[in-house]
Each structure stands twice: as structure tokens, then as C-alpha cells.
Structure 1
Amino acid sequence: MQNEEHPAWLDILRRRAELVVRHTPIEAIIPKPPEPHRLLHELQVHQLELEMQNEELRRAQDALDIARARYFDLYDLAPVGYCTLNEQGLIVEANLTASGLLGVARGTLTQQRLSAFILPEDADIYYRHRKQLLNSPEPQSCMVRMRCAQGREFWAVLSSTLVSGGEPPSQRVTISDISELKRAEGSLRQSESRLRDAESLAHAGAITWDFDSDRTTWSDEVYSITGRSLGEPVLRLDECSSLFTPESATRFSEAIRQALTANSTFDLELEVVRPDGVHRQARARGAALRDARGRLVRLACSLQDITEQKQAEAERAALQSQLAQAQKLESIGRLASGVAHDFNNLLAVINGYAGFLSLELPAGDPLKLSAIEICKAGARASNLVAQLLAFSLTQANKSDAVSLNQIVVESVQMLRQVVGSDIEVITRLSQGAGPVLADADQLHQVILNLAVNARDAMPHGGRLEIATREVELDAAATLRHPDAAPGRFVVLTFTDSGTGMTAEVRERIFEPFFTTKEPGRGTGLGLATVYGILRQNGGWIEVETAVGRGSTFRIFLRQPEAAGETVQAEAVIKALAGRGETVLVVDDQQAVRQLARTVLVAAGYQVLEARDGAAALEIAHQHAGRIDVLLTDVVMPGTNGYLLSGKLRQLHAHLRVILTSGYSRDMLAGAESLSGDELFLRKPFGPEELTALVRQALERSGTQGGPASAAGA
């Protein structure tokens, strides 16, 4: 019954079935005649064959299922995309990863061109890639930028092979997303660029000798310091002695030997000899580095060009002789400061009475000319006193009435870069702080020096607060400092959260060249310069400090004396006389209002006063007559000058406005919208400036005559 055409595995199954049946007595199945017996035997054999075939099929199906699962894991879930392309470059098969990378469902991805997902800028790269693949049996790779269906762009490496055994040949392509690698490469290039920039700014380079590879690397700055070209061969660190003078080479070689044998570090100042013969001063610092097992792995050395620093040290030494001369003049400076203070008080009285006398005397009186000459002599005496004060620092300063708030605002923009991002700079500026008499450039220097001093006291970061406020000192208050004097002052305060100072250090901080910093980090002239500048400008400095509790420096700067300005004004008032017009003066500083009233009343104007915007509005409502001119400070508590002028113009449509402030108009113009016809008067102002600007405002408005024209609002 055996069929010779059956496959071999069927024959094996049949033999196994016959063995089973042969061991089972036929009588145990069914006692029948011989022919039915044989038939039953054959049926039994076939039944067993079928059962065995079914079992083999089940095993084959299980193996197929396992293979399919493995195929799914290895192909569809592979970390790279797989695609099969036909001869025309169309996708005929793709795994799930490729579908995800290209952003297209696998069912619709077939019959699309892979080149459609490549950016046009890289199309030529892919074209050459396919051409090389067809011309060479070797696998080919290329790097291109691709864009998925959703628009996301990514970098990819395409690796292609030709599938043999088919006509026409097909192409299998793997797609690897390397966007993260490209971003990492970009970050690495940026880091290397920043490192090169930092080395260039610091004039410092690095030399590394790796023992495992016996390879030495130089950073670009090392080539610059040593005067070598980037293409020249790199010297090993133990061969770098040829870069220095013989004496420096000996010390450098010994330092390298000690670092390798005794595991020590080195810090040397060396003299570099460039190929063109130019000598440069350099600082070399290095150490031998070991791994966790104590094995030497590399020797690293930094090389910094300190030529300019050494030259600066030489210049500083030369300046010390000049300082000795300056110290001889210190006693003269103290005398000049005291004499100038007394002379200023006397001159204020002399100039004041002479000015009022010249105003009161009639034009034909011969004594009037004498009074005017006294005023001129007093002015010259004031200039001489100012020069005497400037002499204490061997140079003339140009003290003027300046806005301390404005100088702080201008300086802070630079200070944030000087102190660094780890120090928080906070300003608390009093808007009521008036102008001070000082040299603006010197005040910028004072603020910079104090900020640098605070930065050095906070090496790990901290907080620096800069504040201004106005104070009036009486005789008792001046006893706390030998340079103090009664009067109105603006106080500039620097408060840091640094290390603070001991009492011994506090007593010496203003001594020239006294410093607690390590060599090379400070000259000791910063606070000494601050002290001298303040004395030259009639101010002084006070210090509060304690170890671990930071330091507070208070700078006192004198305000201009209004009395002197009034006298100077009244000599020219009559040329700009008023005709009884009404001026509303609004300022939160009583001294400013008093000065304006004195000048304007003497010039023939009627004056109304208000300390703020609310009081000014109340006066405007209650005043029955006409208000011709508003003279208002811009920055005041409550309503500012801009808003106040707008509200008052609703009551007095013809009102002319003069804005005044210690800030420049450029700094204020962006804060509010102006109508364009306002005039601006910068503080501190003189009587001539004030009366001239009031007259200009009135002429703009066409106001003529005196009180007769002031009827009605």
C-alpha cells in the first residue's frame, strides 16, 4: 500500500504507524475474517498517520508563530527604519520604524518615493548615493536631511545594499535618525568655541600629554603665546623646554620631573622665546593626573601670557614714587578743605548782601557799581576756593550741580557686568533726592570702585543694594565725622552681604596700597581714591561693618546752596521782569519752592505754591483769577508733573507748562506723552534761567500786560 511518490516525511509517519499497530493484536481490535482484517489494519495505520501529521503540523505552526514574533521584533520594531525599494526608487516594503520616521502609515507608504522625504538641498547627495550603489557591489551610505509628512526635519544616515537574485534588482535601505548626535556635535562645537574664546580673553592655553596614546595636544592659544603656527608639529610636554629661555627651561623641566615622580603640582613664571626673538612672560601651572588605580594617565599644563600684567606691575612700582609726593600734599589738602569751608560760609554772606544791595540801589547811585564789583569779586573768590579744593588731589575738578540718581542709573547698567551674574544688584533711589555739587565723572569712578570692592567681598555671590536719600545735618550730627559739616546732603549708600571686616582692617581701608587681597588681585588704591574724590568734592564717607555681616558705605554729598543762586539771579532779574502774571510753583522740596518764589516775586510775578499735585489742584479750584504758568517738578509723590499739567489745562485752557527735574529731558521723555509745547528746566536752575523760561512761556501763549489781563480763568 506504500506509495513511492509520497514525500519522505510521510513514509516516516507510515512506518511509525505500522509499528504501533504491529504491537497491538488484531483480535483485540475486532475478530474478523482475513480480508476485513487487513482492511481494518490499513485504516488503523492511516488514522495514526493522520494523527501524527496533525501533531507535526501543530508543532510547525507553533514554530512559525515564534518565527513571526521574532521577525516582528527584529524587523518591525527595529531601532532603525527598513525599506525595500524597486528599480524606480519606490518603496515596496517598510517596517513600522520607517513608517514612524516618515510620518506615514505603512499601508499608504508603499509606492511612494523615498526621495520625496529628502530635503531639496540634499537631493543631489541621495542621487549620487543611488548611482554609486548601482555601479558598485559594495554597500553605500550617505547623510541627508529628511522631512516627515508632519513637517519635522531630522538628520538621517541612509545605508543601502542591492538585493541579489532578482530582476530587476531591488534596494534595501536602513534609515537611522542621528538628529540627537548632530545636536550633540553642535553643542560640542559651541563649547569648544566658547573655550577658545575664554582662552583668548584670558591669554591662557592648555597642553595635555596622554600617556596611553603618547599623544600631545595644544590649544590654539598655546600657539599664539609661543608664536608658533597652527600647522607646526606639536612638542611633547617634556620637550617643551625649547620654548623658554635656558633658565626658565631648567626650572620647567625640573617641575615636570617632580610632577611625574613625586605627584606634585607646579606653578611657575617663565620667559617664553618666540621664533622671531620676542620674549613674553608666561605662567605655567600643571599636574600629573592618575586614574582610580593610581596609574598615571596624563600630564596637563596651562600656559598664560602675563606680559601685560608684569608690565602693569612695573608701572605700578613707578607710580609708588608719585604716591609719595601725593602723601606730602595730604596735609595741604586737609588745610585747603578746612579753609575752603570757612571761606565759603563767609563768601555766601558777602555775595548775598552785595547782591541784594545792588538790586535795591537805584540805577544812578554810584554805590550800585561798587556793589556789583563786590559780587564779581565774590564770584572770583568762590572760583579760587574751588581751585584750592581741587589742588588737594593735584588736579582741577569740574564740580557742578548734577543728579546723583541719574549718575547711579547710568553706572548700574555697567556695574551688573562688572560684579557678575551671581551678585544681585538692587537700587532704591529716592525721587526726592535733589542735585549735588560734584564732578560727574569722579562720581562714576566712586560708584565703580565701591562696586568692585563689594564684589571682592562676595566671592561666592550675594546682594548689593545701592540707595539714595536726602538728609539735613545740624551741628551735633557733624560730630560723628571730622569732614562733616551742617547743611543739606544727599546720601549714597552701598550695602553688601559680603564677608565684612575686622575693626583693625576697618581703620586702615582708606590707606593707599593697603589691601587684604592676595598678591595680584588688588592695588589697595580703590577706597583711597574714593576717599580723595569725596574730599575734593566736599563730601565724606562713613563705614559700618562686622565680620560675617557685610558692610555699609555711606557717602555724603553736598547740595547746591539756594541762597547763593538767589543772589546771582537778582542781579539780572529786571531784564526779564514780569507784569503781574500768576505762576503756580509745584515741587515737593520746600527749598526749591522758596527759591522759585524769591526769584519770581522779585521779578514782578504773583506766585502760588503747592507741595504736590493734590494741593495744586485744590489751589487751582479755589483761585478766582487766572493762572498763566505752571512750573512743576516731574517726579513727585502721588500725581506726577505730566498728569498734573493735563488736569490743570482742563481748568485753564491757556495754561503754559514748564517741567523741571534733576533728570535730563531725554531720560524723562519716554515716560509719558507730551503735547509738544511744554518747556523744560533742568535742576539745579539759576534765577536767570528761571525768569527767562517763564517769559518765554508767556510770550508763546501771547499773554500781554499785567494783572488786568488776568481776570477770569
Structure 2
Amino acid sequence: MKKLLDRMIGSLVFKIALSIVIVETILLGLFGGYYVQYFGAEIDRRIAEQISAPGRLIQDEQLKISVISDPEQMELLLGPHVQEAMAIGFDGTIYHTMDPMMIGRSVKDLPDFPKDELRADMTEEVLFTSDDSSGRNMVSITPLFTLNANQPFMYAYFKVSTEGLEASQRQMQSVLLIGSAMCILLTSALIFLFTQQTVLKRLITAAQFVNNIQIGKLSSRLTPMGRDEIGTLERGLNAMAESLERRTLQHQIAQDALRDSEERFRDFTLSSADWYWEMGADLKIAFASYKFYQLIEEINGSPQGQSFDKLGLHSEDQDGWRYLNSRLSAHMAFQNIEFSWTSRQGEKHFGRINGVPVFELDGTFKGYRGTGSDITSQRRATEEQQALQRQLATSQKLEAVGQMAGGVAHEFNNCLAGILSFAEVARAKIDNPDRVKEYLDHVISLGERATSVADQLLMFSRRRIDQPTNVRVYSVFSEMEKLLITLLEHRIELQIWSNEPELHTRVDPTQLSACLLNLAINARDAMPDGGTLQISSRSVEIAPLAQRSVDDDEETYPDNVSGKFVVITVQDTGMGIPDDILENIFEPFFSTKEPGKGTGLGLSIVHNWVEEAHGFINVETVEGEGTTFSVYLPHVEATEEATQSKDVIDSIPGNGERILVVDDEQSLRTTAGIILEDAGFKAVSAKSTEEALEILKSTDDTNKIDVILTDVVMSGRSGPQLIIEALRQNPQYAVVFMSGFPARSRKELDKLLGNYVFIKKPFRPAQLQKAIHDALALRAERQST
């Protein structure tokens, strides 16, 4: 027992508990004394309030003064410890009292009565304590006044013993002392038990753990019971044990980890679709994952010890390897370097690599580590997507051409009717040269009119690459006017005007015409009962976002645009666009037309093209009144562009040169032969490539061919194939190509041939003569060099 007591007294738990008990005792003593005084004062206040209450009630006439003579009422009002209650006149005579024997006596005859307190100038009640043979008492004297009196006519006197108050205070002190003692004992016991379980027990467990570590049980661990200081100690002891165990098994663990890491990395590199590589400080490949090694080995042997530019890869960018080498030399990271290679099967593949430099802790450069990936499928998917977009654009253009077919057929019929009529009249007036010339001029005019309609059709149906040039916007309006009149039919009035006719923008004129055509088609469909379509142009200066007026809400511009713009406005008086679909009108395949009457691509293609031209579109619409599309394109200053003159070219005569005319159309061969013969050339015709090659083989120095005039597209072998074969036999031929598909044909010829002369069908006689002359001049220049 003594040993246990000594152990308890010497323990940390006992010292902590004792300290807490002392502190609690001091705190409870202070708070107990405070509350004893507080409760005593509170009881005094309540007794004083109780003893003065009857006097105030009598003064306020809420009690009759005769109640003082009733002991039972006084005991109810003042409690069981009431001693005396009297109504005393201003001369000291007792008029009412609890003792009937005292009525009529004077207070001067009472030995312990405080006579000095009954003053004539007394205005408020007086409370005070007094001691006599019966003990300590509390006295209340209240002056009573009549109406408008300035001195009391009587005094209400009450005396109450404080014996009950003192008994209550002693009882409260006893309760507080007993409660404080029990609280201290209970708290001390709880603190002792708590610290015993939470501190001492954990310390004993920690001591046993240390003993286990000392005898070699390194796998022993403590279970931390919290985040307090002992918990920190427990975790620290665990960390110490782990460190000792780790050091003991360090060599074996390191070997296992290294083997696992190598296997894991090998599994990743074998299963991953990406490549992994590493190079040393000499910028030569030191490690390549299996797929990267297999790729390089297939095209250029082992990659080990090779630099990137020696691996047989080809940069997709002209400066790609130069940029990569500059980053490698500067020991800087690089990303998304794209390259290509050709497999053994002859297929072209694409890849992308990334790399980051690696440094020692002291900053020494160690080399690079990086990744790569095969992006062939992504590139092909992108190309397919672009091809699909081109097909969609072409389909939309063809849809527009289809919608124009009726009007175009009508226009062609008008032209052909006029040509036939004037030809018949000219034949009838063959003896009148002046009238024949007049009729033939009308025939030529109608032929040019039909040619203009055909050119418009080709412009919207052919596939082409954008060729931006400085375009006078009003000129495009003028060229489109006839086509739009045909498209809109007679039920819609077309109005074209501009406040600034000399506005220029840099776009592809064909794409601008297609944009106007699409907007016009939409406007036509929005006016089934007829209406007015206005196409106009103006310029506007858009200020930067920071300089725009907050009160200017007439136009809404994107935040990132500023500068001078050309505004092309297409306004109709149709049905308008409902608000619920206004946000969707530029989405591909979104259409409000009936199935089979629209693809929903027109506005989408217009929107995409305008954005590619660095412009934007605003739409204003009112249901039942109409819609206005405003196309904003960047403004440029007017420049002199080299344009082909449309005027008649002066006649260029020949000198007997032999021209081989090759075309599968009999009328064109005959017409071209007549034009050339009249100009002084000698024409030989062939209806196919095979016949032309036979003619060329049969010629000699006496009847040699000087110029080959051939159509590009013919049945059988094409014109370019004829020229390639002919030039292989004799490179001295001059060559002129002719075609009714100028944009497509010239694009194809650019890929096959170098210098050549091209003429568009249909052509005027002087244009054909000039083309033959240009081809002969080009041949002479080629021979001189």
C-alpha cells in the first residue's frame, strides 16, 4: 500500500490532479464568497422592497390606513417576522397598531423607538436597520400627506426582524460549502481517472514499446490515440521503429523496389500507345521504348546513339528541325514537334514528340526525357473532316445552282430564241450588208449574255481554293444583278445601291458572290407573296471596346474588333425570324423549310466564310416585317489590280503557221479553223487525242505543226495527256489550252505543266489570235534560253 501511495504521489498524474484541485478550490472559494454576498444583498433588497410596500400603498390610497390594526393582514404583507406596525400622528400619537393596547399612547413613551426619524420636513420613506433586545431588525417609515400639504400629517411605521434573512444566508452558505467540496472531490476523481486512462496508461504502453525495440522486435508499433503531445510522441516512436526496420532491411527493399520499378516501366512502355525516349548530355538517344525503337529500326536502323535529325524522320514544318535543334542546344523544353515517315508498305505516317531537360541538383545538364505519339489517325480524321466540310460547301453551292436552274433555262431560251431569230432574219437580208451586220451584232450580244449566265453557274458550282484580292464591292453587286433578277423572279423587287460606290475589301470575289446569293435565296423564300429585297453597302468605323460609348446601342459589335469595316446589308420585307430560333440560324443543317427544300447549310457556310475573312455578321429581325443581315468585312484601300480587258482585242494576223486544232466538238473545230484561216494561219483539225498524235507522227519539215490548240476535257484521253506525249516526241511545239471550266482546268494544269497559254471558252476571234501569238512568243523565248 505504501509503495502504491509513493508511486501515486510521484506520478505526473497525481501532480497534475493536485494542481487542478488547488486551482479549483481557489476559484470555487472566490466565486462562492461572491455569490454569498450577492444573495445576501439580493435578500436585503427584496426585504426592503417588501417592508416599504405597505406605506407606499397607503400613501397612494390603495390600502386603508386601518389595515395596520389587523395583525393577520400585516403578516400577509410583511411576512411572519413582522415586529411592529403603527400609524403615528405628526405629534407622536399612535392611532393604529397591531397591539390595541398601544392606541392613543405617544411614541415618546417607547424607550427603543427612533423618535428623531419622525421629522416635519420628511418627504420620502426612510429605511434603516436597528439592534435591540430582540435582535437585528429592519425599519421603514413612510410619511403620509393630505392633498396640497407640504408636511406629513401622519407616519406609517413598520419593523421586521432579520432573523429569517440571517437563517437563509447561513443555510445558503452551508449549501455552497458542501456543494463546493463535493464538486472538488468529484472533479478531482474524474481528472485522476481521466489522466490515468489517457496519460499514464499510454506512457506505460510507450515504455513497453521501447523495451520491445531494445530486444529487437522492430515490427512492434504503437497505436496513436490522438493528436496531443503523447500522440506526437507515439508517432515519433513509430517513425523511429520504421526507420530502424527500414535501415535493417534497406538493401533487400531497394533491390525489390528496383526490380518492381523496372518491370512496371517495361509493362507501361510495352502496353502504352505512346513512345518514351531519353537522351544523354550529348543529345544522342540513350533509351527508346519498344514501340519507338521498333518504329525507328523499321525506317533507319537502331536509334541508339543517334540524334533526332538522323532517325529518318521528316519535319512537317520547314523550320521544324532547326527549331528543335535550337531548343536542344539551349537545354529548353519543347512541345508538339510534328514529323512524318514512310513505312515499308509506302504509307505516310505522322507523329508528335515532346521533351523536357533533366538537370542534376547542382544544375549540371543530364539530357532529355520525353514522349511521342502516332497522330496518323488524328491527321487523317482531320483531313476527312475538312474534305467533308468542302463537300458540304459544294453541295450547298449546287443546291443554289439547282434553285437557279429554272431561271437560267429561261434566260438561255431567251438568248437562243433571239440568236435563231436574228440569224434567220440575217439570212433573209443577205443582200443588205448593213442590215446583216446589225443582226449579227445582236447575235453576238445575245451570245455574250448567255456566256455571262454560264460563267455565273460555273462560279458557284466549281470547287476552288480561296483567292483573296482587292474587290470593289459595288462591282460585285453589278455582276450579280442579272443573276439575282432571274433568281428572285418577277414577284420580288430588287434594289441595289450604295452611298459609297468605291468601297473595297480583300476577299475572294467568288465567295463574296456566293455569300450574297445565299442571303438572297433565304430572303426570297421568306417572301412567298412577293416583296422588296435591298442590297446596299456602306462603311463604318468601329472604335476599340474601351472607347465605345455606353449609350450607343444602335449597333452591337464584338468586343475584339475595331477599325474600318465595309458593311454589306441584305434586307427583305418577309416574314422575319422568330425569337426562339434566332440563335440557331447559323448552325449547320438547321432549317425551317420543309423536307427536301433546303439543307440548312446556307447560313452556316456564310457565317464560317465571313469569320475566315476576319469579319462578322449582325442580324436584325421583326416578325411579320422582315429581316436584315449586315455582313461586316475589313475595309482596304483601292489598288490597281491586273485585270483582263473585256474590250475587243485588235486582230493579230498570222504568217502561215500551221495550227493543230484538237476538240471533240465538230462545231468548235470548224469555227476555230475558219477564224485561224481568215487570220493567215493554216488549220489542221483532229477530233481526239489519238487522231492528233497520228497527225503529229505523219508530219515532216515541210508540213510541221507549229502550235497545238487543244481542249482540256475530251472523251478518251485528255488534252494535258496529249501535250505531255507530244512534247515528249518534240519539245518545240507551242501549246494553247482551251476550256469552259477555267478555274478547275488551270488548277489541274498548274500541277502538270510549266509555261503554257490558256483561253476560256467561248472566245472571240481576236482573243484566239492573241492566244496563238502569245504561244509562239513563249516558244521563241523558250528556244532562246
TM-score > 0.5 by shorter chain: no
TM-score (norm 2): 0.26
- Higher RCO, Cα 8 Å, sep 6+: 1
Over alpha carbons, which structure has the higher Rg? 2
